[in-house]
Amino acid sequence: MGNILVLAEHRQGALRDISYEMMAIAPGLAQDMGGEVTVLLIGSGMDELAKKMAAFGSKVLVVDDPLFEDFNADKYQKVLSALIDDLKPAVVMTGHTAQGVDFIPALAVEKNLPLVAEVVSLEYADGTLKATRQLYSGKVNATVAFKPADTYLVTIREGVVEPPDASADGAVEKVESPLKDDLPYRSFVEYIEAEVGDVDITQSDILVAVGRGLKEDKNLPLIEELAKAIKADIAGSRAATDAGWIPHDRQVGTSGKSVKPKLYIAMGISGAFQHVAGMKGAKTVVAINKDPEAPIFTVADYAIVDDMFKVVPKLTEKLKELKG
Amino acid sequence: MKMFVCIKYVPDTSEAEVKVNPDGVTVDSARFSFDINDADNYAVEESVLIKEAKEGDITVVSIGPKQSDVMIRMAMAKGCDQAVRIEDDRIATHDPLMVAKVLAGAIKGQEFDLVLTGCMASDDGHMSTGVALAEELGVSHASMVKKVELLDGKVRAHRELEGGLLEVVELELPAVLTIQTGINEPRYAPIRGIRLAQKKELKVVNLDELGVDPAVVGLDASKVVLEQLYIPEVESSAEFIEGEAEEKAEKLASILVKGGLV
Amino acid sequence: MSTESQTFTEKYDLLGCIQCGRCTGGCPVTVRADLNVRRFVYDAYHEEKLEELARLAEIWDCTACHTCAVRCPKGLKPLEVLLGLRTMIIESGKVEPTVRDALQSVLLEGNPWEKSRAARSDWMEGLDVKIAEPGVPVENLFFVCCTIAYDPRVQSVAKNIVGLLNKAGIDYAFLDESETCCGSEVFTLGEEGLFEMLVEDNTELLNEYTAKRIVCLSPHCFTTYKTRYPDLKAEVIHYTQLLEELLREGKLVWKGDLQKKIVFHDPCYLGKQGDVYDEPRALLKSIPGVNLVEFERRRERSLCCEGGGGKMWVESESKKERLAETRIKDAKALEADIVAVACPFCVLTLEDAMKGLGYEEEMRVAEIMELLGEFVEA
């Protein structure tokens, strides 16, 4: 039987997006493998979240116990280990997230099961499960085939699919916790929110960077509004930090910081070699510059040749609209 | 504090064009530059900072070719005390579970308080080796650690979660921590320091000398097969968005939203 | 060369200093930063104070322009005291990440720009370049420079000279990707150990080629090879010296003319340190139509652009006007159309300043080789 066990992820009382996203991948795969999807929720006071997951139409198993008030890799490993023995799923699927990566590899070792991590797609054909994942920060794709095993472990990359509609009515079933007592060697202490205003651009996910094209600091609110709309941090080229528009510790380049955001939007930055050297680690680069010959376009994924002051206000407006 | 730090020698492919070799499962690395994996560099620094604060001894463990000796010497110039480099082409390096078994082979049987690794390798990016290693060693662990506080017999680790939130956990020692970039500011290894580090012991061993059965960590032992590498069809050069200024802005906005980039 | 065998005082001949203050008086950086080099020479005499001195931020403001060395009546090199203090910081390992990464890149890849060694001769693609072979005698062995080899903005310096050399039919060869950083900036950043290693390795490499002369495209490599590599067998010259010879021999064939007012900015490493002042001017003057004018501060008194001394990797905390901006304003006052330079760092810093001041429409910063590329038949 090719059943799939999806571990729904939640934190501080809310389901994480990856939980929904996995529901776009698991059902089709289960069908190909001739099995069904079961969602697993581990936590304390899970009724509401269980209902939400049930809306995807699959059965939801809930391990609801005060022992699981907070995420704990060791406890999760114990529960999964016991449930794999009980349910014998063909696939155990979790997010490739700070939770998933914290215990799945240990589970794989413990149960002597195969693991493919940070999977972007899965395919089952002729009795073989194959996963696609990426290497060299996305420059190379790899097809990895599982050798036959009782259970395959996969962690799914976030954001590779859109969550499906959730209007069904799946069953919710509580199961007793396989773990009876607290585990001694790891304990949760607390969550600490990131400090606001204390921005380290080397750690930013999204950066909007401005250069000489900003012209003067009275144009800065335009950029701040864009940054706010997409939860980005603001950085600058040397010209922008020199001019005092942007703090010096947010300078990108060989004499500033090396950054590696998922998205880098360069506006009014020509892209001198010394600047580009500091942002080459960015995954996706958007460049807006009125000079079609600006070297920044050679490293951009998306390019707009135009006056940033004409583009940015509309861009912000549209982004706000689309993101609701 | 007796510590091990596991590091990997990786290519920098951020600017280089990556080409898949005719064998379909390796890439042509002739034009790459190589260096210590970014996160591992932070792990080395963290181990040295702990040693400076609490005294101790650090052993570097790495699987890699002779060329990676320079990386190991740099770690020793920064303060690591000795090193083991495992060189053996029988290891199924595409599978982090096999890699973890080899690393465990270099550590098992010795006393230790902490094992530090980077949380992710920049080449294959499984984020799995360190956590698997903890299980192999039978000790507790925390991954993606952004801050380390040593307490009596325990370590308090601040794990970096999505969205910048930190999850603070306490582990009993010994433990494995996989270190996230940005936890510290890795120091420079001056050449004079590297020269002095030539005097420190760097043991080069194969699996037999390590006492790890090659059959347990080889291609046959691995439960996954790397079938094919290929270059994904992505826009290698910029996609120029056309139209009037406002039109371009609207198109860009929907690309960013639909692509899940914002 | 090493601090172990000599005291700081002996190494930099601190007792030779008469505290006349000509060093600080001439230091171009004083208008921008709180750097008093005379004071450092004085204080460094007290060995117990060295660590404290090394921690002062202003030791990183020095651009190693050598004005202080040129002006010192006792023939000392006051700036080297600052470099010695930098060495103390470097050897502690606790340096700015930008400096760390640049130095580490020199060790691992032979250039400070964190570029792969394999890509070093990519600029040659599509060009007919003669490559040097060990043991095969060559008249002019070219040394490109890391910045010219990798930075697309200044690669034209190397590309243009190749066409010109082929046309002139002179005996030359370039190194392949084995060319390794000369260490000019490594030395001024204070990484003495790495610099010693480069001197050893590059001397061995360059001496393998039976070259009569080593022709450097960057004044930084030129001065470094000329003054800090005692065992190089070949004579070291800057490319403007070679081209000036070709000019005299009538081997440069002009095409078109340049009806522009040009002012020449003396790069510190070419003039003050390399004593080459006339050749670049002769080349510029020979371009048909050119009206060559002069800065008030020229030749030995030329203003530094702040590109040397490792400053490409260290940002000054000072918010005051960059010297490069002062220089561009001076050029503007002279109504110059083109600021000509013969150094890749000067191109980068001056052009940046020119754009910052918004003079892009009416002014241009150009390496001499860029201009010759446009007006000499190749």
Residue C361 forms contact with A (CB below 8 Å): no
pLDDT grade, residue B164 (50/70/90)? low
Query: How confident is the model at residue B181, as a pLDDT?
Result: 87
> Do A149 and A24 sit in the same domain of this protein?
yes
The total of structural domains in chain A comes to 2
Residues of A with CB below 8 A from B239's CB? Answer: 301-303
Angle between helices C97-109 and B69-78 (to 10 degrees): 140
> Do A244 and A152 sit in the same domain of this protein?
no
Asked if the model's pLDDT at residue A196 lies above 70, the reply is: no
Residue of B nearest to A185 (CA): B172
pLDDT grade, residue A195 (50/70/90)? low
CATH of the domain at A63: 3.40.50.620
- To probe the interface with C, which of B27, B45, B73, B188 has the most C CB atoms within 10 Å? B188
Asked if the model's pLDDT at residue C351 lies above 80, the reply is: yes
Residues C155-199: tens digit of each pLDDT? 999 999 999 999 999 999 999 999 999 999 999 999 999 999 999
Residue of C nearest to B185 (CA): C97
Residues B65-74: tens digit of each pLDDT? 999 999 999 9
CATH 3.40.50.1860 residue ranges of chain C are 98-247
pLDDT grade, residue A323 (50/70/90)? confident
Whole-number average pLDDT of chain A: 92
Q: What is the pTM of this model?
A: 0.89
Asked if the model's pLDDT at residue C310 lies above 50, the reply is: yes
User: What is chain B's alpha carbon radius of gyration, rounded to the nearest angstrom?
Assistant: 21
- Among A137, A159, A174, the domain boundary falls at A174
> Do A161 and A223 sit in the same domain of this protein?
no
Residue of A nearest to C312 (CA): A255
- Which of A268-277, C62-71, C335-344 has the least mean pLDDT? A268-277
- To probe the interface with C, which of A202, A216, A255 has the most C CB atoms within 10 Å? A255
- Which of A200-214, A237-251, B141-155, B190-204 has the least mean pLDDT? A237-251
CATH of the domain at A252: 3.40.50.1220
- To probe the interface with A, which of B27, B93, B149, B169 has the most A CB atoms within 10 Å? B169
Contact (CB<8Å) C118/B189: no
Structural domain contains residue A187:
no
Asked if the model's pLDDT at residue C3 lies above 50, the reply is: no
Structural domain contains residue A85:
yes
In what helix (H) or strand (E) does residue C338 lie, and over which residues does it extend? strand C338-341
Asked if the model's pLDDT at residue B6 lies above 80, the reply is: yes
Query: How confident is the model at residue A35, as a pLDDT?
Result: 97
* pLDDT mean over B70-94: 98
Residue C119 forms contact with B (CB below 8 Å): yes
Query: How confident is the model at residue A292, as a pLDDT?
Result: 85
With pLDDT > 90 as the criterion, what percentage of chain C qualifies? 92
* pLDDT mean over C78-99: 95
Three-class DSSP category at C317 = coil
For B188, the token pair is 């420079």
Query: How confident is the model at residue A199, as a pLDDT?
Result: 81
> Do A148 and A229 sit in the same domain of this protein?
no
Residue B28 forms contact with A (CB below 8 Å): no
DSSP state letters, C131-186: BP-TTS-EEEEEE--HHHHH-TTTHHHHHHHHHHHHHHT--EEE--TT-----HHH
Selecting from A11, A141, A193 the residue whose C-beta is nearest the C-beta of B230 gives: A141
Amino acid in the structure at residue A311: V
Contact (CB<8Å) C315/A238: yes
Read off φ and ψ for residue C236, nearest 5 degrees: -110, 125
Contact (CB<8Å) A273/C153: yes
Contact (CB<8Å) B33/C118: yes
> Do A8 and A143 sit in the same domain of this protein?
yes
Asked if the model's pLDDT at residue A52 lies above 50, the reply is: yes
Contact (CB<8Å) B191/C115: no
CA angle, C20 as apex, C19 and C23 as ends, to 5°? 95
The architecture CATH gives domain C254-375: 3-Layer(aba) Sandwich (3.40)
Q: What share of chain C is helix, strand, coil (3-state, %, to 5)?
A: 45, 10, 45
Contact (CB<8Å) B30/C191: no
Q: Which candidate, A300, A262, A266, places its Cα nearest to that of A138?
A: A262
Asked if the model's pLDDT at residue C135 lies above 60, the reply is: yes
Structural domain contains residue A302:
yes
- In angstroms, the CA C84 to CA C63 distance is 14
Q: Which residues, including other chains, have CB under 8 Å from residue B158's CB and lie 6 or more apart?
A: A192, B145, B146, B147, B148, B149, B166, B167, B168
> Do A9 and A109 sit in the same domain of this protein?
yes
Asked if the model's pLDDT at residue C90 lies above 80, the reply is: yes
Q: Which candidate, B74, B120, B123, B73, places its Cα nearest to that of B229?
A: B123
Residues B122-156: tens digit of each pLDDT? 999 999 999 999 999 999 999 999 999 999 999 99
Selecting from B156, B162, B181 the residue whose C-beta is nearest the C-beta of A189 gives: B156
Domain, as residue range, for A316: 201-322
Contact (CB<8Å) C95/B188: yes
With pLDDT > 90 as the criterion, what percentage of chain A qualifies? 76
For B214, the token pair is 């090659």
Contact (CB<8Å) A274/C348: yes
- In angstroms, the CA B202 to CA B197 distance is 10
Residues of C with CB below 8 A from B190's CB? Answer: 90-91, 93, 191, 193-194
> Do A261 and A146 sit in the same domain of this protein?
no
Asked if the model's pLDDT at residue C344 lies above 90, the reply is: yes
> Do A164 and A290 sit in the same domain of this protein?
no
Contact (CB<8Å) B193/C93: yes
* pLDDT mean over C316-332: 92
In what helix (H) or strand (E) does residue C82 lie, and over which residues does it extend? helix C79-92
Does CATH number 3.90.420.10 belong to domain C98-247?
no
Selecting from A104, A115, A137 the residue whose C-beta is nearest the C-beta of B13 gives: A137
* pLDDT mean over B85-111: 98
CATH 3.40.50.10700 residue ranges of chain C are 254-375
What are the DSSP E strand ranges found in C256-300?
261-264, 291-293
Residue of C nearest to B12 (CA): C116
* pLDDT mean over A25-51: 97
> Do A231 and A164 sit in the same domain of this protein?
no
Q: Quote the minimal CA–CA distance from C7 to chain A in Å.
A: 32
Amino acid in the structure at residue A73: A
Structural domain contains residue A256:
yes
Q: Which candidate, C274, C271, C279, places its Cα nearest to that of C298?
A: C271
Selecting from A16, A140, A149 the residue whose C-beta is nearest the C-beta of B20 gives: A140
Query: How confident is the model at residue A198, as a pLDDT?
Result: 65
ipTM confidence: 0.92
- Which residues face A60 on adjacent strands? A39, A172
Q: Quote the minimal CA–CA distance from A157 to chain C in Å.
A: 30
What topology does CATH give the domain C8-92? Fumarate Reductase Iron-sulfur Protein; Chain B, domain 2 (1.10.1060)
Burial class (CB in 10 A: 0-12, 13-18, 19+), A176: exposed
Amino acid in the structure at residue C222: F
Query: How confident is the model at residue C1, as a pLDDT?
Result: 44
Structural domain contains residue A190:
no
Query: How confident is the model at residue C2, as a pLDDT?
Result: 45
Query: How confident is the model at residue C4, as a pLDDT?
Result: 54
Q: List domains and CATH numbers for chain B.
A: 2-217 (3.40.50.620)
Q: Which residue has the higher pLDDT, A204 or C366?
A: C366
> Do A27 and A126 sit in the same domain of this protein?
yes
Q: Which residue has the higher pLDDT, A238 or A206?
A: A206
Contact (CB<8Å) A212/C101: no
Q: Quote the minimal CA–CA distance from B199 to chain A in Å.
A: 34
> Do A235 and A283 sit in the same domain of this protein?
yes
* pLDDT mean over C227-245: 97
With pLDDT > 70 as the criterion, what percentage of chain A qualifies? 98
Query: How confident is the model at residue A150, as a pLDDT?
Result: 96
